[in-house]
Amino acid sequence: MDSPKLLVQGVTKTFRTGRQRLDVLASIDLVVAAGEFVSVIGPSGCGKSTLFNIIAGIEKPTSGTIAIDGEASTILAGKTGYMLQQPLLLPWRTVEENVMLGLDVRHVPRKKARYEAYELLKRFRLAEFAQHYPSTLSGGMRQRVALLRTVLFNNSFLLLDEPFGALDALTRLSCQMWLLDLWHEFHSSVLFITHDVREAILLSDRIYVLSARPARVLRIVDVNLPRPRQPEHLALNQSVQLEQELMSILMKEQSI
Amino acid sequence: MKLRRLAGYGPAFVLAVTLLVLWELYVRAGLISVQVLPAPTSIVQGLIDNWNVIYDNTIQTLLETVLGMGIAILLGLMLAIMLDISSWLRRAIYPLLVTSQTIPIIALAPLLLIWIGYDIRPKLIVVALFCFFPIAIACADGLASAEPELLNLLRSMRASRWQILWLVRLPGSMPAFFSGLRIAATYSVIAAIFGEYVGGEKGLGIYMQRAANSFATVQVFAAILVTAVLSLLLFGLVSVIERIALPWYHGSVARW
């Protein structure tokens, strides 16, 4: 059997500042199979982003192991496509140059990088903005560009930390469908953080529910909705029930 | 668009012309001796009459200014990057840097003459000493202002320290760098003239000194006029270079 894309085993994280210690993650186990779309939901401030920083190789876990493609390594940076809530586009680079940033880091020749970035923009209907600066784009457009930058760096495993959290409802929905398109096209594995229960249901194969800090896994829920997903699927009985169930778990965890 | 920008200078233009006319009338009315304060028209006439000599000296001063600024830019950028590399270096260098600005260059300039000689070198040092500080401080602040999350993104791509500096921090600090450069540009001509004042063979500073010693007030004022124009031109030049170098900061769409 193939090894899973991501295997997180017993990962904990404790921050120490002087005498104070803050337990953020209390032993997390988590699996993302190849080609799977997995979401993580939890009350705000529960440590989801810390978990992502650890998987992305920006922070070290206090204990536990993380394996990507079956390979447990302490150097995780460069193995995932990481994206955050803010688009973090470089204002001095055009859309095309922003998309190719990851290839610049990898020392891909500029001409080749530019070509690949442009092809990707063309494929996802953003070619007309290739030579624009990010400051001229709308919020939704910026997130799309940031997503393409992430994909061009690594399309096999995407770590998305609330990528659509700052968008209005309509833009968010169109970005969500666009993401599913992209995921389908590249057969990527996705780990997705969100606050939004409906977003998690609409997008995921599986949902991990985390507790309040220190975070542990409270529930793992399979979402058995048909693919390709449509916004209408959220109105199905099983979706509504799932939403109620997840909301009630989260409400108990949410501090006032 | 251009016309409207020009129109923005209207009030300043009107005020300047009014002051000049009042000055002219005051002198012509015989309220003050022309030996003490020559009229604006006689200053312009003096400039034309002595153009060959003034031109020669202006070129010398301009050369010192531009070369001195070049040294200041290199020194300022190097210091800014050093301040940024480690907090240890920052704590070591920053106080010394600020202290260096408390040393009166007036006292230092004659020493430079004794140490180095009467050629162009002490002038370059004086210009560089005046100009490196605003460049270094502005650029160091610009480097430090990079978004932490942007740095995390680059770390997740496994970018090296130097890649982060080259791809993100240095380009991001350019607007601040140019602010510092504009301040430096306004100092630079005066600094060169000051360097000449202490001792030398050629330059606007020398010319002014000689003119003043022989009570040729018209020629002193003519040289002052040239100095002012030179400073304004340099300031304008820096602004033009900034507009060309940072189109994203001023305009919207790339020019190709």
B157 contacts on A by Cβ (under 8 Å): 77-78, 82, 101-102, 105-106, 153
Q: Is B10 a member of any domain?
A: no
Q: Are residues A67 and A161 in the same domain?
A: yes
Tokens matching residue B192: 């060169």
* A221: CB partners within 8 A, 6+ apart: A206, A207, A209, A242, A245, A246
What CATH number did the domain enclosing A56 receive?
A: 3.40.50.300
DSSP category for residue A81: E
CA distance B208 to B213: 8
pLDDT at B192: 94
Pick from A53, A85, A90, A149 the residue to mutate for testing the B interface (most B CBs within 10 Å): A90
pLDDT at A63: 93
pLDDT at B256: 38
CA nearest A248: which of A41, A51, A24? A41
CA distance B105 to A17: 46
* End-to-end Cα separation, chain B, in angstroms: 21
CA distance B127 to B67: 9
pLDDT at B84: 85
Closest chain B residue to A103, measured at CA: B157
The residue among A94, A127, A153 that closes a domain is A153
Closest chain B residue to A106, measured at CA: B159
List the helix and strand counts (H, then E) for chain B: 13, 0
Q: Are residues A53 and A163 in the same domain?
A: yes
Tokens matching residue B95: 């106080």
* Interchain proximity A105–B168, CB inside 8 Å: no
Range of the domain at A140: 81-153
Q: What is the ipTM of this complex?
A: 0.90
* Interchain proximity B154–A135, CB inside 8 Å: no
If 0-12 CB within 10 Å is exposed, 13-18 middle and 19+ buried, where does residue B220 land? buried
Give yes or no for B155 touching A (CB within 8 A): yes
Contact B207, B161 (CB under 8 A): no
The residue among A153, A185, A203 that closes a domain is A153
The pLDDT of A21-34, averaged and rounded, is 92
What proportion of chain A, given as a percentage, has pLDDT over 70?
99
What CATH number did the domain enclosing B86 receive?
A: 1.10.3720.10
User: What is the least distance, in Å, from the CA of A239 to any CA of chain B?
Assistant: 34
> Closest partner residue to A92 among B150, B156, B171, by Cβ?
B171
Point out the residues of chain B with pLDDT beneath 70. Answer: 1-2, 251-256
List, edge to edge, every strand of the sheet that includes A37-41. Answer: A81-83, A157-161, A189-194, A37-41, A206-210, A217-222
> Closest partner residue to B252 among A84, A102, A136, by Cβ?
A136
Domain count, chain B: 1
Q: Are residues A148 and A167 in the same domain?
A: no
B249 contacts on A by Cβ (under 8 Å): 91-92
pLDDT band at A210 (very low <50, low <70, confident <90, very high): very high
The tens digit of pLDDT for each residue in A85-106 reads: 899 999 999 999 999 999 999 9
AA identity, residue A4: P
Domain count, chain A: 2
Count chain A–chain B contacts defined by CB atoms under 8 A. 75
* Interchain proximity B153–A135, CB inside 8 Å: no
Q: Is B228 a member of any domain?
A: yes
Pick from A50, A96, A101 the residue to mutate for testing the B interface (most B CBs within 10 Å): A101
Give yes or no for B248 touching A (CB within 8 A): yes
Pick from A99, A105, A158 the residue to mutate for testing the B interface (most B CBs within 10 Å): A105
pLDDT band at A5 (very low <50, low <70, confident <90, very high): very high
* Interchain proximity B163–A105, CB inside 8 Å: yes
Q: Are residues A122 and A228 in the same domain?
A: no
Judge whether residue A255 has pLDDT over 80. Answer: no
Q: Are residues A114 and A92 in the same domain?
A: yes
Cα A149 to Cα A107, A181, B85: the distances in Å are: 15, 16, 28
> Closest partner residue to A132 among B158, B163, B253, by Cβ?
B253
Q: Is B12 a member of any domain?
A: no
Pairing of strands A157-161, A189-194: parallel
Give yes or no for B214 touching A (CB within 8 A): no
Q: Are residues A176 and A227 in the same domain?
A: yes
pLDDT at B198: 84
Where do the H-state alpha helices sit in chain A?
48-55, 95-99, 101-105, 110-123, 139-153, 169-186, 197-203, 237-253
> Closest partner residue to B248 among A53, A104, A133, by Cβ?
A133
pLDDT at B90: 87
B256 contacts on A by Cβ (under 8 Å): 131
List the helix and strand counts (H, then E) for chain A: 8, 10
pLDDT at B255: 42
* Interchain proximity A58–B168, CB inside 8 Å: no
* Interchain proximity A88–B147, CB inside 8 Å: yes
Distance of CA B39 to the CA centre of its chain: 28
* End-to-end Cα separation, chain A, in angstroms: 45
Q: Is B205 a member of any domain?
A: yes
Q: Are residues A138 and A115 in the same domain?
A: yes
Range of the domain at B79: 39-248
The residue among A105, A133, A153 that closes a domain is A153
In the block, tokens 């899973």 appear at: A4
The tens digit of pLDDT for each residue in B84-111 reads: 888 888 889 889 888 888 888 888 888 8
The tens digit of pLDDT for each residue in A154-175 reads: 999 999 999 998 899 999 999 9
> Closest partner residue to A153 among B147, B157, B248, by Cβ?
B157
The pLDDT of A112-141, averaged and rounded, is 93
Q: Which residues pair with A13 in a beta bridge?
A: A25
Distance of CA B11 to the CA centre of its chain: 25
> Closest partner residue to A92 among B152, B246, B256, by Cβ?
B246
Contact A148, A121 (CB under 8 A): yes
In the block, tokens 């260059």 appear at: B105
> Closest partner residue to B159 among A84, A105, A159, by Cβ?
A105
Q: Are residues A57 and A95 in the same domain?
A: no
* Interchain proximity A86–B149, CB inside 8 Å: yes
Q: Is B16 a member of any domain?
A: no
Q: Is B255 a member of any domain?
A: no
Q: Is B13 a member of any domain?
A: no
B162 contacts on A by Cβ (under 8 Å): none
Pairing of strands A37-41, A189-194: parallel
For the four alpha carbons of B87, B92, B95 and B97, in that order, the dihedral sign comes to negative
CA dihedral B118, B122, B124, B126 (to 10 degrees): -130
List, edge to edge, every strand of the sheet that includes A20-32. Answer: A20-32, A6-17, A63-68, A71-72
Q: Is B57 a member of any domain?
A: yes
Give yes or no for B249 touching A (CB within 8 A): yes
* Interchain proximity B155–A57, CB inside 8 Å: yes
Contact B185, B234 (CB under 8 A): yes
pLDDT at A256: 59
Pick from B147, B150, B153, B242 the residue to mutate for testing the A interface (most A CBs within 10 Å): B153
